[in-house]
Amino acid sequence: MPLELITDKKELIYKTVLDHMHEGVILIDTSTRVVYVNESYYQILGIRNKKIIGKYLDEIQPGTNVSKVTRSGKPLINVEFTFSQTGVRVVANILPVFNEDNSLFGAISVFRDVTEVRNLIQEIEHLKGYTEYLKERLETNSDSAFSSMVGEHPSIIQVKEKIKKVASTDTTVLVTGESGTGKEVVANTIHEASNRRNRPLIKVNCAAIPESLLESEFFGYADGAFTGSKRGGKLGKFELANKGTIFLDEVGDMNPSLQAKLLRVLQEKKIERVGGESSIDVDVRVIAATNVNLYDKVKKKEFREDLFYRLFVFPIELPPLRKRKTDILALALKFLEELSLKYNKQLSFNADVTRLLISYEWPGNVRELKNVVEHAVVMSDKSGRITLANLPTYFKDSPRGEHDGIDHLHLYKNFAQIEKSAIKEALIVTKYNRSEAMKLLCMSRNKFYKKLKEYQID
């Protein structure tokens, strides 16, 4: 085969490969005349007039670094620049091209639209957030949205009814209550019962993020926003929660400057990244929670009044555990079943432990109850019974109901309600295996079936 044909065939192969590349390619000689551009070059820059071969680079692409390489003969890697005519920003590798005698022929620039790269990074961030949400959702292993809300006390029944009414809407919810009462459980339940259940639930503890990072955590940052920032920028919590729900825990501790930005999000459904130049639309359902009296903070000028009313659309107040003592045993049994499974044990409470659980004041509420049960499960022996010896020392030594005598009178009058709730919860956690429920409750078969009939439990 003649040498000229071989050369022509090679050029055809090279041109075919270059024309099918996703990146833009431009080749210039040492005089900066354009020798070749591929199809992607035109597409990325939006150029319709393709008659640019033979033109000088400055005529079509002023202010770039390509001509520098034709002078120095040294490559430039990962160079970012903006095409002045179109505003398109790219990242490029610019390499010198040499003749067979090692003299400099010119330079070739291979570049990609940074916007596309940023979109890919954002999509990855979205997928990361959604993956974490799905992982957390699988770990909860709940059969229904309300399965984690245990109790039949009138106050908790009222909470469940309010959740059922608000879940199907996009209304902003403010959950209040003492620490440990289950505000996050309420947020989970609302989300799982909503039309957004298949979208992310992003949780943010407003009190746990350093003040210097608050804004970038909430709203993200643009590319090059500050030294050390990730290339392509970073999505904030609101963008990660787009089409889903964001849970703002401890919202009463939010920085005043951030309160103003949150107000704008609630009003306009838009966010602006740190260092960004444009607004981004977000479709997010907001659930906020606090253990402080926000209205008192408003009066003290510690919390914005306009933000307070934006959040206070649908308030849900959670009762402390000491005000719903008839639910204590049912909650304790739920935790006992979960933790026994976790630690591969089969356990039940003895009578002394049951009495102690019911009479204790629970200043740490449901969270403290779960911690006490976990401590007892870990400390239990092979007997299969949790005894007083397995409980934390502080718990055994704490005074019993010194500040709530009237409540205890009602407690004893309502023992039947406690027993009924405990039996129902035992059936739920054992998936209605009556033999397992009897073991969990330490009840004889005769007594168990007698109670089922007495309390009309199916």
Residue predicted with more confidence, 237 or 114: 237
- What integer pLDDT is reported at residue 387 of this predicted model? 93
> Is the predicted pLDDT of residue 318 greater than 90, yes or no?
yes
Three-state SS at 346: coil
Structure-block tokens of residue 410 = 């009602």
Of 142-151, 153-162, 169-178, 249-258, the poorest mean pLDDT is in: 142-151
- What integer pLDDT is reported at residue 232 of this predicted model? 64
Structure-block tokens of residue 290 = 């606090």
Q: Which residues pair with 109 in a beta bridge?
A: 26, 94
What is the residue-averaged pLDDT of the chain? Answer: 83
Residue predicted with more confidence, 410 or 383: 383
Query: Please, what is the angle between helix 154-167 and helix 183-192, to 10°?
Result: 40
Output the furthest CA–CA distance in the chain (Å, rounded): 108
- What integer pLDDT is reported at residue 22 of this predicted model? 79
Please state the rounded mean pLDDT for residues 247-268: 92
CA torsion angle 173 175 176 178 (round to 10) = -170
Count of beta carbons in the 10 Å neighbourhood of residue 171:
14
What percentage of the chain's residues is helix, strand, coil (to nearest 5)?
50, 15, 35
pLDDT in tens, 240-255: 999 999 999 999 999 8
- What integer pLDDT is reported at residue 1 of this predicted model? 34
Count of beta carbons in the 10 Å neighbourhood of residue 250:
19
Topology of domain 408-455 in CATH is: Arc Repressor Mutant, subunit A (1.10.10)
Residue predicted with more confidence, 272 or 15: 272
- What integer pLDDT is reported at residue 121 of this predicted model? 67
| 69 φ, ψ (degrees, to nearest 5) | -70, -30
Structure-block tokens of residue 314 = 């649908």
Residue predicted with more confidence, 176 or 217: 176
CATH number of 321-397: 1.10.8.60
Residue 19 CA to residue 430 CA, distance in Å, equals 65
> Is the predicted pLDDT of residue 86 greater than 80, yes or no?
no
- What integer pLDDT is reported at residue 114 of this predicted model? 74
Residue predicted with more confidence, 176 or 72: 176
> Is the predicted pLDDT of residue 227 greater than 70, yes or no?
no
- What integer pLDDT is reported at residue 417 of this predicted model? 74
Of 16-20, 338-342, 346-350, 370-374, the poorest mean pLDDT is in: 16-20
Under the banding of pLDDT at 50, 70 and 90, the label for residue 180 is very high
Topology of domain 144-317 in CATH is: Rossmann fold (3.40.50)
CATH number of 3-116: 3.30.450.20
Under the banding of pLDDT at 50, 70 and 90, the label for residue 433 is confident
> Is the predicted pLDDT of residue 231 greater than 90, yes or no?
no
The residue ranges of every structural domain in the chain are 3-116, 144-317, 321-397, 408-455
pLDDT in tens, 403-425: 444 344 454 445 677 777 788 87
- What integer pLDDT is reported at residue 188 of this predicted model? 94
> Is the predicted pLDDT of residue 265 greater than 80, yes or no?
yes
**417 CB-side CA count, 13 A:** 15
Model confidence, pTM: 0.65
- What integer pLDDT is reported at residue 3 of this predicted model? 36
Count of beta carbons in the 10 Å neighbourhood of residue 16:
9
How far, CA to CA in Å, does 305 sit from each of 247, 255, 284, 301, 445? 20, 14, 22, 8, 59
Three-state SS at 431: coil
Of 91-95, 278-282, 358-362, 445-449, the poorest mean pLDDT is in: 445-449
Concatenated DSSP letters of 188-226:
HHHHHTSTTTTS-EEEEETTTS-GGGHHHHHH-B-TTSS
Which residues make Cβ contacts (< 8 Å) with residue 234, sequence separation at least 6? 125, 216, 220, 221
- Residue 104 belongs to what H/E stretch? strand 104-113
- What integer pLDDT is reported at residue 404 of this predicted model? 43
